[in-house]
Structure 1
Amino acid sequence: MNRLIRFGLMFGNLYHVTSPALVERYNRALEHLTGKRTALTDFYIDISGFSPEVGDDLGDPLYLNQGGVNRQFILLSTDQKRAPLLDAKFSTSRTILRRFIEDNEAALFALTARDAVAGELVNSVYDVSTPQRLFDIRAITVDADTTAGTVRNAEALAGKIDTFLQDEDAWFDDVLIAEMIGLAAQTGDVTRNPVKLKKMRFEQGNFWTAHFGGLYVFQKVEHPAVIASADASALGTLPLEHVFETRQRNQIARFLELNGLVEPIVAARGIDSAAILRQKMDFILVDAVTTAGVDLSGTTRADMRRLARDHAAHLPEEFHALASLVNWAENGGAWPRIASDHPAYFYTLRAADHADADLVNMLLAELTSKDVRQLFICHKQMFYATYARWPDAKKEYVAQYLAAEYQADKVGTRDALFGHDAPMEEPPASTTRTKPQTMDDLVARVGPWGAVRR
């Protein structure tokens, strides 16, 4: 893992806590939430304020996430919004934290100038000892305040000010006036500088969770299902009728198609589909040749073509199927029929344009784990777990590739792979065409690659 850290591919963009004032604020918040303090004077934190170094110091890697639910957080700066969320137990957690910071940025900037903001992502479930409890999580609310209770005191002061202005006898209420003066000493002038955090509530719709070996829960689609990375039989009876394992490729393909969650890469507008497929082929090639002990140091594009020729007989089905698809897209070759049980099937898809695109791309990354770029972007926890088992030659190649190609332009790469152009106006349908001529015609007629097998 040191190679990934050196290239900025692991623990990147964390917020560095170095000053004694920030360390003390962090400790106040930590004690407020957990009753513990750290002796460290220099450490890094993620968007939630979690620090692997502090976790090691306390001997508790879940010190802000006991039980894996109701994640607590510590904010020292609004700059934390750019940090990742380490060891996430739910795919929705980082999005919620970022939205909370961005929607309250001005107030949080003022609050964190003097104190840490501590809080919790609250739901009605306090443990997920059984898979069934996951379905009791209906919504997440954000509860936050400074360690000194500035927001709570500001709300109390605002209420007392209203009473003072509305009650004719308030001028003679010495107790009320004394309370207002005491609160104002802590909060400042809330009439000119309101200290208020928005009450935020997030519906827990479709999500991924690390619990129970990894589950993708699609409960807010027309045809709901749970997709399990591990043994589905161990989950017991769930509220959703359909429960699949990631090895049940035909059923997952059918589920994705029925709900309109994916589209063929070659049919997506505004992207270089052939270039994307060629890169996937390169990653599949790298996996094959490094397993065979080939050193990839200093390889060029010409070297990769040579390796593909030299090892053609030993390359997996995914490589050859994608090569046929590229040949169709670029040279008008024969249309390859890639059925849902083919190893290359999910490599040819990406999430369609909908609210759960990130979740679907995460699922596709797990189903196409040889595409290390998508795995790194969409499912970092699985990337780190599989990286540890790779040959050293593959580790070096992938780390150098991601550092050079992805880190240099993260936004551009994500847009090129997963972005969606505005839909174009469809031309009038022809009444004389007798056979499909374009990718759109093929998709309209038979689905992405022909009928999905049940």
Structure 2
Amino acid sequence: MMRLVTRGLMFGNLFEVRAPALVARYNRALEHLTGKRTELEEFHIDISGYSPEIGDEFNDEFYLNPDGFNRKFILLSIDQKKCPLLNVRLSMSQDILRSYIEQNEEQLFVLTARDAVVGELINSVYSVDSPSDLFTIRTIEVEADTIGSDVEASEELSEKIEQFMKHKDGWWDDVLIAEMIELSKRTGNILRDPIHLARQTFEQKSFYTSHFGGIYLFRDVQEPGIINVNGAHDLTDLSLEYNCSLDNHYEIAAFLKINDLVEQITNTTLMTNSLAVLQQKMDFLVIDAAASNDEDLSNVSRRDLRDLRRKHRQDLPEAYHSLEKLMKSIIAGQQHFDLKPHDPAYFYLLRSKNHANKRLVNMLLSQLTPLDFRQLFICHKDAFYSAYRSWSDAKKSYVARFLEEEYILDKSGARMQLFGPEPAMEENEPEIEPAIWQGPWGPASMEQ
């Protein structure tokens, strides 16, 4: 995986914790939440404060999210809002954390200047024992304070000030005045610089969870549905109009169509560059076939791809041949394409429409078209990393190089081309220069 790390394709855009004061502050917060401390003198953290280096140190990648439903977080800086979320168990967690930071940015800026802010995404359930328990997930409440409980102290001081102002004999209440003075030593002048982090509640109706082998749950659509990724759990007792496994393409296609969730990329009124997108998807299928036949994929050019396509034509998947036929029809001027769900290329032609669940639908589509490694990387990082581990070394090298050169250098342009103008699809991470990127554990000396 180190070839991904060194190219900024894994653990990229994390917040660096190197200053001794920040390390000490993180340790106090970590001990406050988990009872543990790190011996590391520098490390990197994601938007929630999770560090992959500390995860290695503890041999526990879920040390801030042990139950998978109530993620704890540590904020050292509001700059963490630009970071990704690692080890995602619930798809909405990153959006909730980013929204919370942005809505409380001014207060968090003041608080993190002197202390770490710790908190928790409190789910409406604390654990799930069966897939049916997922339906009890309705809201997520964000609760946060500094390690020294400055927000709580501020709220207590506010109450005492109100009590002091309301009672005409407040000036003679020595105990009340003494308590106010002690609290103000911690909070400062809350009349001039108020400290307040309101509990915020986020409603979640549709989401993906990695629990139970992976489940997509759509509730805020016309015909609700649940999609079981690996089919390891029996969901037949769940009363939904659409209840299917990931390999049931007809059911999934019907669900997406009846709820008007997707559109064809070959609709030229939507994508003027649909031919280029289709060609790239076909190239990815060629690369997979060539890699399976132990071809050398280093420095593959467009001409090399044509040669590989001819050489391994008998090994290309049915999806390729279907896409090739479609390309010829488009070039010939045909405007209407009516592929059926049984066609291997069916889902390669779809992308989500603009709606509240756009990111979730594109995530689902990426799992239905796993050979399109670029979309898998953009929309479903965990599925990408899992697939990557099983690939040949030649394919790993090609994919890492392609993503570095064709995606990282222009992420916003690639996402616009593939998914259209939808800010929610952005990973909300700054553009980086791969050549100077360091990341966790520094630059690696060898690829793995």
For residues 239 and 142 of structure 1, the distance between their equivalents in structure 2, rounded to whole angstroms, comes to 30
Stretch moving more, 200-209 or 331-340: 331-340
Question: Deviation of residue 151 (structure 1)?
Answer: 0.8
Deviation at 1:270, TM superposition (A): 4.9
1:100 match? 100
Q: Deviations over 1:415-448 (max 9, x none)?
A: 2211248xxxxxxxxxxxxxxxxxxxxxxxxxxx
What displacement does 1:155 show?
1.2
Number of the residue aligned with 2:118 = 118
Going from structure 1 to structure 2, the CA distance change for 1:64 and 1:239 (only over 3 Å counts) comes to: farther
* C-alpha distance after superposition, 1:354-383 (max 9, x if no partner): 010000000000000000000000000000
**For residues 178-257 of structure 1, what are the structure 2 equivalents within 5 Å?**
178-231=178-231, 233-235=233-235, 237-257=237-257
Q: CA deviation at 1:351?
A: 0.3
Runs of 4+ in 1 over 6 A off after TM superposition: none
Shift, 1:349, TM fit: 0.2
**Residues 1:137 and 1:157: Cα distance change in structure 2 (over 3 Å):** same
Contact 2:227 2:245 in 1 (8 A): yes
Matched residue, 1:162:
162
Larger relative contact order (Cα-Cα within 8 Å, sequence gap ≥ 6): 2
1:414 CA displacement: 1.1
TM-score norm. by structure 1 comes to 0.89
Give the C-alpha shift of residue 236 in structure 1. Answer: 5.8
Instruction: Single out whichever of 228-237 and 209-218 deviates more from structure 2.
Output: 228-237
Per the alignment, residue 19 of structure 2 pairs with 19
**Partner of residue 76, structure 2:** 76
Q: Please report how far the alpha carbon of residue 333 of structure 1 lies from its aligned counterpart in structure 2 after TM superposition.
A: 5.0
Query: 1:47 maps to what in 2?
Result: 47
Alpha-carbon distance, 1:327 to partner: 2.6
Q: For 1:361, give the aligned amino acid.
A: N
State the partner residue of 1:90: 90
Q: Which runs of 5+ in 2 are unaligned?
A: 423-448
Q: 1:233 to 1:85 in 2, by over 3 A?
A: closer
Q: Secondary structure at the match of 2:190?
A: coil
Residue of structure 2 equivalent to 1:66? 66
User: Considering only aligned residues, what root-mean-square deviation do their CA atoms show, in Å?
Assistant: 1.6
Counterpart AA for 2:414: T
Which range moved further: 400-409 or 153-162?
153-162
CA drift at 1:314? 2.7
Q: Match of 2:144, SS?
A: strand
Contact 1:270 1:420 survives alignment (8 Å): no
Partner of 2:30: 30
CA distance in 2, matches of 1:32, 1:303: 57
TM-score w.r.t. the length of structure 2 is 0.91
Query: Which runs of 5 or more residues in structure 1 are unaligned?
Result: 422-454
Which deviates more from structure 2 when the two are superposed, residues 343-352 or residues 229-238?
A: 229-238
Partner of 1:385: 386
Change (3 A) 1:335 1:123: closer
Distance apart, 1:68 and its partner CA? 0.8
The offset of 1:60, in angstroms, is: 2.6
Shift, 1:328, TM fit: 2.8
Q: What is the letter of the counterpart of residue 41 of structure 1?
A: E
CA displacement at 1:394 relative to structure 2: 0.7
Structure 1 stretch displaced more, 145-154 or 27-36:
27-36
| Counterpart Cα distance in 2 of 1:295 and 1:88 | 34
1:29–1:381 distance in 2 versus 1, CA, 3 Å = same
CA deviation profile, 1:384-427 (whole Å, cap 9, x unmatched): 00000101111111100000111111122112211248xxxxxx
Query: Aligned-pair distance for 1:271?
Result: 4.7
Q: 1:310 and 1:58 mapped to 2: Cα distance?
A: 49
Deviation at 1:30, TM superposition (A): 1.0
**Aligned match of 2:425:** none
Alignment partners' CA distance in 1, 2:298 and 2:52: 32
- Amino acid corresponding to residue 71 of structure 2 in structure 1: R
* Cα distance between partner residues in 2 of 1:125 and 1:328: 52
How far the C-alpha of 1:319 sits from its partner, in A, is 1.2
Partner of 1:311: 312
Moved more, 311-320 or 148-157: 311-320
| CA displacement, residues 139-187 of structure 1 (integer Å, 9 cap, x when unaligned) | 0010000000011111111222222223221111111111111111101
Identical counterparts, % of pairs: 52
Secondary structure of the equivalent of 2:234?
helix
Which amino acid in 1 is paired with 2:213? G
